[in-house]
Amino acid sequence: MNSGNTSYPRPVCGENRRVSPDEALELLTRVPVGDLMRRAYGARAERFPGRVVTYVLDTNPNYTNVCVTGCRFCAFSRPQGHAEAYTLSPRSLAERVRKSYERGATTVLLQGGHHPGLRLSDWLAYVRCIRAACPHIHIHPFSPSEVVFLSKTTGAPVPEILGALYAEGIRTIPGGGAEILCDRVRARIAPEKATAAEWLAVAETAHRMGFRTTATMMFGHVETDEEIIEHLVRLRDLQDRTGGFSSFIPWSFKPGNSPLGKEVCQSAHPLRYVRVLATARLVLDNIDHIQSSWFSESITAGQLGLLAGADDFGGILFEENVLQQAGHQRATTLDTVLTVIRRAGFVPARRDSLYNVIEEHDDAAAGADVLARVLARRTDCTERGR
């Protein structure tokens, strides 16, 4: 593990200086959206001069829906004892992952509720069973908010929990639970979840131990414009210290069946999503990758995001449950994703969970061909390993 306190130099933007918080607020709220998109696309082109847009083949099963935090934006969780509550055994979870793995998934993003009965040994059992069932899949588990909760319920220090995961070969952690990194907002939508400082502290500890993590933001509910900028600046400041964030992934709140949906009845407009994403590209000058999500928004909004500074199109998602429970039903195929990326003027490329490009696809590449190559390489690796 990397236990040093390495600091990273502060990068500069194309104008040879950083976007200040006041300038960022101006970008988010007042600059014409076309001008904002052009500027963000220019920043993206400086960092990635080519026309490549990446995607990943992933699956997002949930090991439990039992959660005691009672976040008001969530329609997925259930209290202990509820008729719909479940907690998967390690074998059951591994079997679900295996089904996606056999269809071509290369990454499993593993998250669950804040279950007071689970322990670190349960987490490690999930990791070990998945690895035994799917030896070539990348396991991307346990968000900072889950780590904070496990630490509080078991008394295990955060470094001990992260160290155990690192010893199991885990190298990346998802950025879930960030919501808005402002405690005024968190007190209204998720008062029992990790504070902003706790979430950031887990991410910083993980980075210094050698993990790479993503950073997320869920907007479009009770936050102000100023609080969106505060969130971005706090991520940028942490990235200056550690360099451990691999990507930034924003998505808009889906009211659906959630308690907060009674107060916030409509999702953010797609142009609001584009504004947030473009502003993020300009503010987060030290985070390489910005993801535009076809899944959390729409194919069209995701495609617009590629013209507003994003360089990644997210995952194909062989399984997803959380947004589905909120009434957000969306599915696509690999062929559709490849087509959407191409029609925006880019070259699609499959990546791994560390954002390394595995293969670029020329115009002749179809989804079935890509999946066939993934599965063939797996078989070849397995045969050579015998």
- Give the model confidence (pLDDT) of 137-149 as tens digits: 999 999 999 999 9
Q: Which residues neighbour 232 within 8 Å (Cβ) at sequence distance 6 or greater?
A: 24, 217, 279, 280, 283, 284
Displacement of CA 59 from its chain's centroid (Å) = 12
Q: What is the pTM of this model?
A: 0.90
Residues 161, 201: Cα–Cα separation, whole Å: 13
Q: Is the pLDDT of residue 3 over 60?
A: no
What's the pLDDT tens digit per position in 346-370? 999 999 999 999 999 976 677 778 8
Backbone phi, psi, residue 326, to 5° = -85, 5
Residue 65 pLDDT greater than 90, yes or no: yes
Q: Which residues of 131-153 are buried (b: 16+ CB within 10 A; e: fewer)?
A: bebbeebbbbbbbbbbbbbbbee
Q: What is the amino acid identity at position 28?
A: L
pLDDT of 322 higher than 60: no
Cα–Cα distance between 289 and 374 in angstroms, integer?
24
Q: What is the pLDDT of residue 331?
A: 60
Q: CA torsion angle for 12, 13, 17, 22 (degrees, to 10)?
A: -120
| Domains of the chain, each with CATH number or no CATH | 21-385 (3.20.20.70)
Q: Is the pLDDT of residue 277 over 50?
A: yes
Q: What gap in Å lies between CA 26 and CA 19, rounded to an integer? A: 10
Which two three-digit tokens encode residue 260?
């907060």
Tokens read off for 151 = 């630490």
* CA gap 186, 180 in Å, rounded: 7
| Residue 14: predicted pLDDT | 46
pLDDT tens digits, 112-121:
889 999 999 9
Q: What is the pLDDT of residues 68-107, one digit of tens each?
A: 998 888 888 898 889 999 999 999 999 999 999 999 999 9
| Predicted local confidence at residue 11, as pLDDT | 42
For the chain, give the percent of residues with pLDDT over 90: 72
Average pLDDT over residues 31-56: 97
How do residues 209-259 score in pLDDT, each as one tens digit? 999 999 999 999 999 999 999 999 999 999 999 999 999 999 999 887 778
Higher-pLDDT residue of 73 and 202 is 202
